[in-house]
Amino acid sequence: MISFKEQWNLEMALDVLKNKSVDSKTWSDAAKWILLYGPPDLQHIMEQASSIGMKSCFPQLEPECYTESGDPCYDIEKITEALGVTKQEALQKMGEMEFELGIQHLYDVSETENIQ
């Protein structure tokens, strides 16, 4: 099985993002690939856009704390409430993403810190 990283390259991902008729799943995968594996300057732009989108769509969600690298962490209960899913569904999806991408999404409070 080909890994997610190997399924895309930068040219392909950018072509998908520019395409106005592509389905939402493909568009989302292309955006995710750039966020994870694209050049740092594009990753930064995508992170900013993601943050703006998060604040626009879910204004009630605020980071509770941050990872050592500065990534925001949210309370799972507040996420489930905002998305209208159960805690079990949210944790299962996050676990699947961790397995698929090899990137940690779930953190224990002891692994985070408050940035004031």
Q: Could you report the per-residue pLDDT of 79-95, keeping only the tens digit for each?
A: 999 999 999 999 999 88
Q: Which residues have C-beta within 8 Å of that of residue 109, sequence separation ≥ 6?
A: 65
Q: Which residue did the predictor score with more confidence, 51 or 109?
A: 51
**Mean pLDDT within 57-78:** 87
Q: Could you report the per-residue pLDDT of 10-41, keeping only the tens digit for each?
A: 999 999 999 999 999 999 999 999 999 999 99
Q: Between the CA atoms of 69, 75, 80 and 82, what dihedral angle is there, to the nearest 10 degrees? A: -90
Assigned token pair, 93: 């999806």
